[in-house]
Structure 1
Amino acid sequence: MVQRQLPRPADLRELVGFRTPQLSARRRRLASAQTIADLRDIARRTTPRAAFDYTDGAAEGEISIARARQAFSDVELHPSVLHDVTRVDTTCTVFGGTSSLPFGIAPTGFTRLMHTEGEIAGAGAAGAAGIPFALSTLGTAAIEDVAAANPQGRNWFQLYVMRDRAISYGLVERAAAAGFDTLLFTVDTPVAGARLRDLRNGFSIPPEITARTALDIATHPRWWFDLMTTEPLEFASLTSTDGTVGELIDAAFDPSVGYDDLAAVREMWPGRLVVKGVQTVADARRLVDCGVDGIVLSNHGGRQLDRAPVPFHLLPQVVREVGQQTEVTLDTGIMHGADVVAALAHGARFTMVGRAYLYGLMAGGREGVDRAIEILRGQIERTMRLLQVASLEELEPGHVTQLQRLAPRPLA
């Protein structure tokens, strides 16, 4: 027979630990998030549909972004054994400076739409984590305000070339004067992609009140309170901001941008010049021959040309062609720290995350961005330990296999 007795308080203290309750609902939600997908779920619940869809959506049938994420899922990792991984080093050098992690925050437009703290939250979180922050031409915080929010960190500026060249050149000069060290010259947006979620939601700038948005006000009162009680929501670098994002892009951006414009910006920019939006090996080769300091393989997060090449699929070919002559980085589709590790193993010098950071921003402002970085940091370190590599330099193609799901059909 089992002998039973009433538990004594001292015994209970040894068996059960009582956690101090967290009174902040936001902090409870963020603490419960273990993955970027968890942050996305929180963001979807706490953000009006039009704002969430603007962030979450992509162009046309959203095939490009789905393929990019699938490409990272279709990865097999090959660990070594019997290596000391008591400590792992996640620091790296990129574009003439250091980063404590092998990813930075990608440039995203209209960021205060997601949360009123916008780019200031992203820049502050990046500075605290020791990683670069990139500000978009279509950002909702001024260049100087981002510099003030991240005074000791690395700030990058992403440039679109406008029909009015004086606007673009003025932004280049302001970014240089504010101490930004890298310019991301973006080449994948001659016109706006067809972002159908935005069209179906009637999304515009500023947001228009309809029956649907009125319901959103009722179900997301905090978001609307923040919108109505802070400075007007507008692009910091554009004087006219009425209309849909697509209409603004088509009106302001110049589809005739060419290599002469790249050369002109090279002449006036004192820092590292990186071309963002490269999608073929041939273009990577030509850009390197033109003397750029780096390239970003990117299909703009699937938000421009749907069915565009998957950057992760393209990466090994580009690294073989130009990896010894320039720094190859990439974005699009990264949702896990293992995605970052896989990209580095295949030769990428660095990666950038856009939506992953924005999900954190929507979920909890600056604290949400901190949580997103913390999640990715933990996943990178854990993946490195399980692969049994102690530094990023030890990663090599043998650690990763891209499993084949899509392959070109041979020509007849």
Structure 2
Amino acid sequence: MVQRQFPRPHEVFDLLKFKKPVLSPKRRRLEAALTIHDLRRIAQRRTPKAAFDYTDGAAEGELSLARARQAFEDVEFSPRVLRPAQDVDTSTTILGGPSRLPFAIAPTGFTRLMQTEGEVAGAGAAGAAGIPFTLSTLGTTSIEGVKAANPHGRNWFQLYVMRDREISYELTRRAAAAGFDTLQFTVDTPVAGARLRDKRNGFSIPPQISLRTIVNAAVRPWWWFDFLTTPKLEFASLSSTGGTVGELLDSAMDPTISYADLDVIREIWPGKIVVKGVQNVEDAKQLATQGVDGIILSNHGGRQLDRAPIPFHLLPEVKREVGAHLEIGVDTGIMSGADIVAAAALGADFSLIGRAYLYGLMAGGRAGVDRTIAILEDEIVRTMKLLGASSIAELEPAHVTQLERLIPRPRP
């Protein structure tokens, strides 16, 4: 027989803890986000379709992006047991400087279109977290504005070699003068990719207002309030160079870019230089002879050539071939801290997060970016503890198996 008694309030309250109400709607929705996918869903609710799709979409059939994400999902971890990892050290050295976590924020264009705090939120959050922040040539906050937002942290600059080379040279000098320590020389945009979501949405910079735009934005008045009551949306670092937004965007894509341009920028830039957009082993080997400090395996987030190589799949072979000579970064498809751990185990010196950062920005401005970083950090620490690795240096290829879905046929 079960022994029964009258309920005793003090015993009940020992078992129950009432959660304090959270009055801030922003804080409530961000605390409810437990994954980057959760932040993406919040971002989609809060952002007009054209702006959200610009972030979320990729080129043509979006196969490159889907395959890159699938590659990370097709990771099988191999944990080591009876190896205490009570205190996990996530810090590392990236391109000659410290980083508290093994990732940096990637360069993104038009960032203030997604949420008005834009790069200021990203740079401030990165500085607070002790990780590098990258400003795009097509950023909507100036080089000097990012430096002001992150005065003591590590700032990187992503460079498009523009048709008017002097513009690129001047941007390089400005970033150096502002104390940016690393330049990302981007090589995967000879022409713009076909981003079909943007075409279907009639997307443009600045946004063009149509009846469909008004209807879609009617339930998101906060976005329009921010957009209409804050400074003009423009390519901030290019605002003094002349030309319309469309002309500047077109001039950033140049199919004549070559190794000669890399040589010129290498002479101008005093800090570390990495080549972003490497997509095969042969180019990685060639760049190892060019006096650069690193490469970033990237297909531009799937936004350029659809069906491009999967950066994460390239990583092990590139590491074997050039890892002794170059630092290797990887991006495209990263949606969790476990993805970053897998990349580190297979030889990446760092990862870059782009969409994950922007989902947080759209979900809650600076606080949303802080939440993105906190989610990724929590996932990194938990994954490393479960693998039995107490530091980034202890992660090794034996921790990861890349399960195969797409097996290439032998080339003729």
Give the corresponding residue for 1:382: 382
Q: Which runs of 5+ in 2 are unaligned?
A: none
CA shift, 1:241, in A, is 4.1
Give the corresponding residue for 1:163: 163
Give the corresponding residue for 2:315: 315
Within the alignment, does 1:36 sit opposite 2:36 as a pair?
yes
The 2-side partners of 1:411 and 1:298 are apart by: 23
CA shift, 1:16, in A, is 1.3
The 2-side partners of 1:344 and 1:147 are apart by: 28
Give the corresponding residue for 1:279: 279
Give the corresponding residue for 2:352: 352
Asked if the contact 2:235–2:245 (Cα under 8 Å) also holds between the matched residues in 1, the reply is: no
Instruction: Say what the alpha-carbon RMSD is for the aligned residues.
Output: 1.2
SS in 2 for 1:64: helix
CA shift, 1:4, in A, is 4.8
The 1-side partners of 2:3 and 2:206 are apart by: 72
Asked if the contact 1:192–1:249 (Cα under 8 Å) also holds between the matched residues in 2, the reply is: no
Within the alignment, does 1:92 sit opposite 2:56 as a pair?
no
Residues 170-249 of structure 1 aligned to structure 2 (within 5 Å): 170-238=170-238, 239-243=242-246, 248-249=248-249
Give deviations 1:196-226, integer Å, cap 9, x for gaps. Answer: 0000000111111111111123110001100
Match of 1:15, as an amino acid? L
Asked if the contact 1:234–1:241 (Cα under 8 Å) also holds between the matched residues in 2, the reply is: no
Match of 1:131, as an amino acid? I
Asked if the contact 1:191–1:253 (Cα under 8 Å) also holds between the matched residues in 2, the reply is: yes
SS in 2 for 1:357: helix
CA shift in 2, pair 1:241/1:22, >3 Å: farther
CA shift, 1:255, in A, is 1.5
CA shift, 1:409, in A, is 1.3
Asked if the contact 1:106–1:354 (Cα under 8 Å) also holds between the matched residues in 2, the reply is: yes
The 1-side partners of 2:218 and 2:174 are apart by: 41
SS in 2 for 1:98: strand
Residues 248-397 of structure 1 aligned to structure 2 (within 5 Å): 248-397=248-397
The 2-side partners of 1:394 and 1:237 are apart by: 41
Within the alignment, does 1:148 sit opposite 2:148 as a pair?
yes
Q: TM-score, normalised by structure 2?
A: 0.97
CA shift in 2, pair 1:57/1:165, >3 Å: same
Query: Greater shift after overlay, 251-260 or 86-95?
Result: 251-260
CA shift, 1:240, in A, is 3.3
Q: TM-score, normalised by structure 1?
A: 0.97
Match of 1:381, as an amino acid? V
Aligned pair count reads 409
The 2-side partners of 1:168 and 1:390 are apart by: 42
Give deviations 1:45-76, integer Å, cap 9, x for gaps. Answer: 01000000000000000000000000001111
Give the corresponding residue for 2:9: 9
The 1-side partners of 2:8 and 2:77 are apart by: 50
The 2-side partners of 1:43 and 1:241 are apart by: 29
Match of 1:355, as an amino acid? R
Give the corresponding residue for 1:408: 408
Give the corresponding residue for 1:77: 77
Identity %: 69
The 2-side partners of 1:129 and 1:366 are apart by: 12
The 2-side partners of 1:278 and 1:242 are apart by: 28
SS in 2 for 1:145: helix
Asked if the contact 2:164–2:251 (Cα under 8 Å) also holds between the matched residues in 1, the reply is: no
Give deviations 1:174-211, integer Å, cap 9, x for gaps. Answer: 10000000000000001100000000000111111111
CA shift, 1:3, in A, is 5.5
The 2-side partners of 1:6 and 1:228 are apart by: 62
CA shift in 2, pair 1:411/1:153, >3 Å: closer
Give deviations 1:342-389, integer Å, cap 9, x for gaps. Answer: 111111111110000100000000000000000000000000000001
Give deviations 1:20-63, integer Å, cap 9, x for gaps. Answer: 10111111000000000000000000100000000000000000
The 2-side partners of 1:217 and 1:357 are apart by: 23
Give deviations 1:236-284, integer Å, cap 9, x for gaps. Answer: 13343444xxx75334432201111100000010000110000011111
The 2-side partners of 1:406 and 1:65 are apart by: 14
Give the corresponding residue for 1:18: 18
